[in-house]
Amino acid sequence: MTPYDSSAAPTPAARQPLVDGFGRTVTYLRVSVTDRCDLRCVYCMAEHMTFLPKAEVLTLEELDRVSSAFIGLGVRKLRLTGGEPLVRKGFMSLVESLSRHLRSGALDELTLTTNGTQLARFAGDLARHGVRRINVSLDTLKPALFRTLTRGGDVAAVIAGIDAAQAAGIAVKINAVALRDDNAAEIPALIQWAHGRGLDMTLIETMPLGEVEADRTDQFLSLTEVRRALASYWTLTDLPLNTGGPARYVRVEETGGRLGFITPLSHNFCEACNRVRLTCTGTLHTCLGREDASDLRAVLRAGADEARLVEAIRLAVDAKPQGHDFQITRDAAPATRRHMSTTGG
């Protein structure tokens, strides 16, 4: 893939930062590069998913072009996600192409969220293209439970992937979804395992996104509850890290590692939100928990020039909602019909 030609000088409009209607500056873009995945996590996907026809998914060139437009507008951090980003054909050429923004200094960080199954193969290339940190999702170390939760996955492949990433010099953060029935009792062991390997760890509350077979109300585990339990035997020291997102961090003094809590349902984090999300079909969502959507693919495929693309992005960001309205109650419909695999986690 040849890098998208961004040699044309940015227009004056393109030089102004992206500020929404509530004065928040958008500096963080998450891009889902595919809705496909080699796993079927029970809280994320239905067992039998219908994936999108190829024509609906942005090409690698289109993904590069939109991402680069955002970077031109002041986005400093770009996270590639999915579905599973490493199963997208040609994914590494997109990473290679986007890495030019790291070299130019326009971008501070190019990163990805992955399930880790393909990492052993790709970690070296990621490191070579300037990826310094990644998030790997891992909810359990138990092979049988991992197989059940992911509907068929092999936890050994993920651990081999984490090994390869660390060997390549990439910092790994483990993301685990807290599930009342499945991994609640294992959470302390998972934290000890991660911290013992020098990995940060973040716990995530289940979010009501997309219809899946499992009843999320039964699996929902409040991280306030988890934190209280951990604090009964560990010393948790608040850290002033602020990512502009829903994560709050502590240091576990006994393990020496960092632990994050992503609690979109327990706490309101919207006032500091600095991020927007692009789906693999080119729809821009400015809020994870709302149905707001702007179709950038239509703009791209109508042959828009740079100024028109920038205008479409600005219009979308200007309308970013003030906050979300997630709730998990017994009969509540999902807050949005989108699956996390479409929006990108």
Q: Measured from the CB atom, is 81 or 263 closer to ligand SF4?
A: 81
Residue 322 C-beta: closest distance to ligand SAM, Å: 22
* 81 contact choice in ligand SAM, ligand SF4, none (CB below 5 to 8 Å, kind-dependent): ligand SAM
Q: Measured from the CB atom, is 77 or 100 closer to ligand SAM?
A: 77
Q: Measured from the CB atom, is 18 or 209 closer to ligand SAM?
A: 209
Q: Measured from the CB atom, is 137 or 294 closer to ligand SF4?
A: 137
Residue 211 C-beta: closest distance to ligand SF4, Å: 14
Spatial separation of the C-alpha atoms in residues 136 and 113, rounded to whole Å: 6
Q: Can you give the binding site for ligand SAM, defined by CB under 6 A?
A: 37, 43-44, 81-82, 84, 113-115, 137, 175, 177, 204, 206-207, 209, 340-341, 345
* 219 contact choice in ligand SF4, ligand SAM, none (CB below 5 to 8 Å, kind-dependent): none
User: In what side-by-side order are the strands of the sheet with 294-295?
Assistant: 236-238, 247-252, 257-262, 200-204, 171-177, 133-137, 109-114, 77-81, 28-32, 275-278, 283-285, 294-295
* 130 contact choice in ligand SAM, ligand SF4, none (CB below 5 to 8 Å, kind-dependent): none
Q: Which residues contact 295 (CB under 8 A, 6 or more apart)?
A: 282, 283, 284
Across-strand partners of 277? 30, 285
Spatial separation of the C-alpha atoms in residues 276 and 286, rounded to whole Å: 5
The secondary structure element, H or E, covering residue 28 is: strand 28-32
Q: Is-contact 260 321, C-beta < 8 A?
A: no
Closest residue to ligand SAM, based on beta-carbon distance: 345
Q: Name the one residue in this structure whose structure tokens are 């979308």.
A: 316
Q: Dihedral of CA 53/288/222/325: which sign?
A: negative
Helix (H, G, I), strand (E, B) or coil at 57: coil
Q: Measured from the CB atom, is 274 or 341 closer to ligand SF4?
A: 341
Q: Measured from the CB atom, is 18 or 120 closer to ligand SAM?
A: 120
Residue 178 C-beta: closest distance to ligand SAM, Å: 9
DSSP assignment of 164-224 equals HHHHTT-EEEEEEE-BTTTTGGGHHHHHHHHHHTT-EEEEE----BS--SS-HHHHB--HH
Residue 239 C-beta: closest distance to ligand SF4, Å: 26
* 40 contact choice in ligand SAM, ligand SF4, none (CB below 5 to 8 Å, kind-dependent): ligand SF4
Residue 12 C-beta: closest distance to ligand SAM, Å: 36
Residue 312 C-beta: closest distance to ligand SAM, Å: 25
* 71 contact choice in ligand SF4, ligand SAM, none (CB below 5 to 8 Å, kind-dependent): none
Spatial separation of the C-alpha atoms in residues 135 and 113, rounded to whole Å: 5
Q: Dihedral of CA 267/268/270/272: which sign?
A: negative
DSSP letter at 83?
Answer: S
Q: Measured from the CB atom, is 71 or 86 closer to ligand SF4?
A: 86
Residue 81 C-beta: closest distance to ligand SAM, Å: 5
Spatial separation of the C-alpha atoms in residues 115 and 86, rounded to whole Å: 9
Q: Can you give the binding site for ligand SF4, defined by CB under 6 A?
A: 37, 39-41, 44-45, 82-84, 115, 137, 341
Residue 86 C-beta: closest distance to ligand SF4, Å: 10
Q: Measured from the CB atom, is 99 or 137 closer to ligand SF4?
A: 137
Helix (H, G, I), strand (E, B) or coil at 24: coil
